Structure 1
């Protein structure tokens, strides 16, 4: 969409404007951010600046300047880029309609790009008030998918706007980890990253009041360890503002099969605007409770480390949703013992991790601890170290650690024999209760108020540590001193395998 000035002014380096063809101004609310970019081709350019002029929309729209651009008049901005090597995206503004704007009003946004050592180029974006409005049909929630099986999704959308998408539409599909999209269609471009997916272009004009769906379903294969996930898609008019997450360079591969097309669908209330749907496979995860032994003399305070391991084969991956845990484990101390030093909710030792158990007080009959991991893979384990006071010797006493489902996302454990583990006692001394109680451990507030789960790692401490960790605080070999019950205690934390970010 760029035009250069006369060739006599040309230089070794040329500027190329990347501007969208159409901008659809809504008749109420606010429009999308304008897509704009500039590239230095053939070398570096200097003192690059782009002037943007939308004054043809005076009285019909107002401008909200964004990015690093500055206003130079009514509906005008200047965006100073400076030295340019390669491509630079520009985020100049978005438009809001005035009360006088009505569907069908037109205008234009013009661009002039200059540099001290490259020819001036110009470009234009057409503006239409109203325009097409493409709303999507949600995907149904799918359940009972066999591990490693193929399942299908069919995108569908309707044009509820006032103008046609006369140049066709664009489709972008994105998915959670754990599924792979079949590369079936020659008009679609695919990514190697599952969460990026693919995009396809359709030349079919979409008139107002009509609805379409793809003429073949998209085919997905769930990986064998996947338990939960999602699929989603967006649709927009070709030449109009693309989603912020869309970058064509993320999709280097083209499908080899027949082109994917569109076929008419019945319009109706089922087109709610969201192209999102979850899925669940039948895969399960074997949660093994991890117990320990309380050892010491009557009246002595010691520690235990308990928790849960995921023995697989399923992976509890909730990086894509608002699930805050992969289940819980309930810790019940043995008779004759007391768990001491529980910090209050949201408190932690320094540099100890966030406390993820309730209640946040010492002396409770039991504690429920979150498996605070949004990606709990086979082989991963989450542990909690407790300080325990042996009040008296009770022959045969034992407590327990019990793994419990997240009811919204159950791990469907089919091996219940290892869901509970014992906390045993090896105590010596007279069977008389201790008369001196240890005071609660002190703790400092977590500035972020949040934490994440460990993987293949253990949290430990003389006070109550927790399954959640703060990446900025938890590092191998870190330690701090806490004072509890008049005794200096080291609060340590380690991680056997680093957290894999996305």
Structure 2
């Protein structure tokens, strides 16, 4: 399966939208220019029903979700009837658990739900239980018809296939010790462990958090021309049962300069489907600047190729979590003392970022003096900063109160622009970057 032989969507962990055909939705006579109207959004075009004897654990039909949206300014449309013809499922799958909250009921093979649409309505009218002995292959179409007082009729058809693909994605271990600003390579790989092929192609969506993607692959779309965090690559099908592929070049994600943790992920899904939470990129999105990305066959039978927990026929995801060397970088956090001249006030001293033991030294701004609060002389569990060992110089602050310890001070006089400092105590062996171990302490005079 080469670059022209399969449709694949690769997602590097961020958020991606499905591209491809629009849902097959028909509106009788067209929607009038004015007046209330409803639309069906994100409907399935193809619905795979796993066979009852599927060897895949927890292999159940994906969620059949109906999303109705009302056209502004008519945000409320009441007493909407949603008629779902499930005749093609007779003897193949049994509807179960009708949505009682939306007054769904069955008469024969017809389900009818009564819905009040207030801006929008999202519901799952039924679940399906596959029946033994169903012949594999195309079974016809589920039809959805939406009617209501004063609105055009809306219809949608979903093609049903008995049997299902099981999309897998190659899992990768977490990475540690990544230098901020360094690049990480991730090569998407996916397969099909089901009994039914995917003819329409595959899409790979890539997302990055705490990192940016290099805009390289010429047949992929990116969310931004500079420092993108999402990519989408489409490949033509088929993806037959037992097949597995990986991209012939990796995606490279560059860790942010200030990142301590991050994630790069990709999601593989069937192309031309708009259901689910995946956001596809528009056709106008910037393309990569280099050669097109292709596919090459690999062995997808190992334990590292795994399906998602649910909706095996719809998508599979792989996540690369990473920690940078910045997790050892102790960073002091400054604070502001607020009050009037002559007042005694408390200020919270925030703990440093990435601390193990919250030991800090506070040098107060000019015009502010420390008030000692002996332990046991206050009613709360707060721990206050204390005079240093020498009795002068920086106050010593420590403790485990949520959010930080506290310092009690007296604002003796007004000194414009006065600044002190808070210093997080660390050693060069555990914190190689000590330039950010000190942060400012300022005064805000309130009167």
> Which bracket does the TM-score occupy, shorter chain normalised?
0.5 to 0.7
The match for 1:338 is 375
The match for 2:400 is 369
Is the 2:348–2:406 Cα contact (8 Å) retained in structure 1? yes
The CA distance in 1 between the partners of 2:133 and 2:274, in whole Å, is 20
Give the CA RMSD over aligned residues.
Answer: 4.8
The match for 1:285 is 329
Instruction: Kindly indicate whether residue 296 of structure 2 is the aligned counterpart of residue 272 of structure 1.
Output: no
Structure with more strand by fraction: 1
The partner residue of 2:406 within 381, 385, 388 is 385
The match for 1:96 is 128
Q: Deviations over 1:18-43 (max 9, x none)?
A: 42211223445543322444567899
Change beyond 3 A, Cα 1:456–1:264: farther
The match for 1:296 is none
1:93 alignment partner, SS class: coil
Is the 1:227–1:280 Cα contact (8 Å) retained in structure 2? yes
The CA distance in 2 between the partners of 1:356 and 1:238, in whole Å, is 58
1:329 alignment partner, SS class: coil
| Higher RCO by CA contacts (8 Å cutoff, separation 6 or greater) | 2
1:413 alignment partner, SS class: coil
Is the 2:185–2:251 Cα contact (8 Å) retained in structure 1? yes
The match for 1:329 is 357
Which residues of structure 2 form unaligned runs of 5+? 1-23, 53-57, 308-316, 336-344, 362-372, 385-396, 409-422
The match for 1:413 is 431
Aligned length: 349
Following TM superposition, by how much is the alpha carbon of 1:108 offset from its aligned partner in structure 2, in angstroms? 3.2
Following TM superposition, by how much is the alpha carbon of 1:153 offset from its aligned partner in structure 2, in angstroms? 1.2
The CA distance in 1 between the partners of 2:425 and 2:64, in whole Å, is 51
* TM-score, with length taken from structure 1: 0.55
Change beyond 3 A, Cα 1:112–1:187: farther
The CA distance in 2 between the partners of 1:11 and 1:290, in whole Å, is 60
Following TM superposition, by how much is the alpha carbon of 1:338 offset from its aligned partner in structure 2, in angstroms? 3.2
The match for 1:497 is none
The CA distance in 2 between the partners of 1:153 and 1:277, in whole Å, is 8
The partner residue of 1:80 within 88, 95, 115 is 115
The CA distance in 2 between the partners of 1:25 and 1:239, in whole Å, is 18
Which residues of structure 1 form unaligned runs of 5+? 292-301, 311-325, 345-354, 358-365, 373-381, 388-400, 406-410, 422-454, 459-476, 478-502
Instruction: Kindly indicate whether residue 204 of structure 2 is the aligned counterpart of residue 171 of structure 1.
Output: yes
The CA distance in 1 between the partners of 2:47 and 2:430, in whole Å, is 49
Change beyond 3 A, Cα 1:188–1:166: same
